[in-house]
Amino acid sequence: MAEYDPDNIFAKIIRGDLPAHKVYEDDKALAFLDIMPRAPGHTLVLPKAPARNILDIKPDDLAHVARIVQKIAVAQKKAFKADGITIQQFNEQAGGQVVFHLHVHVIPRKNGVSLRPPASFKEEAEVLGDHAALIKAALA
Ligand code: AMP
């Protein structure tokens, strides 16, 4: 497996070198909206520790990410009146991974509404800002 690249786009967001619509942050994890959401409110949850994916993350860091994934799912259900939540996590190119810093997709779902295809739609920054505010309010 390739080495972790500290200049990947999510490492830059964690360092504050690139912007993101953050919804949650603590000393070990960060959650922000996906800029190409497959449904409104689509959020990514990341460990702050460098990890390429499930194959190299430390178990304690993964456990913390799982706790935050659950928090975000509960907040999304409230914020978006979701009927369900889809969780996805991809590992290595063959597993569908595009950005090589571990992240978990947390996606609010409505009955009968399909996910948009991956990377098919770039959301407006203003809409992402509104959606981030809804999730933050539900987390408070
Ligand atoms: P994957 O590695 O397959 O889980 O896909 C990476 C995900 O990151 C995709 O859903 C992209 O839309 C998303 N993404 C890529 N760049 C950014 C960014 N700068 N901010 C937020 N999400 C991003």
For position 1, what pLDDT does the model report? 83
Does ligand 1 have an atom closer than 6 angstroms to the CB of 96? yes
Q: Which residue, 66, 56, 38, 42, is CA-closest to 100? A: 56
| Architecture of the domain delimited by 9-139 | 2-Layer Sandwich (3.30)
Does ligand 1 have an atom closer than 6 angstroms to the CB of 100? no
Cα(81) to ligand 1 centroid in Å equals 24
Cα(104) to ligand 1 centroid in Å equals 10
Helix (H, G, I), strand (E, B) or coil at 85: strand
Q: Distance (Å, rounded) from C-alpha 76 to C-alpha 56?
A: 28
List the chain pLDDT tens, one digit each, 140 residues.
899 999 999 999 999 999 999 999 999 999 999 999 999 999 999 999 999 999 999 999 999 999 999 999 999 999 999 999 999 999 999 999 999 999 999 999 999 999 999 999 999 999 999 999 999 999 99
Whether the pTM exceeds 0.85: the reply is yes
For position 51, what pLDDT does the model report? 98
Q: Where are the domains of the chain?
A: 9-139
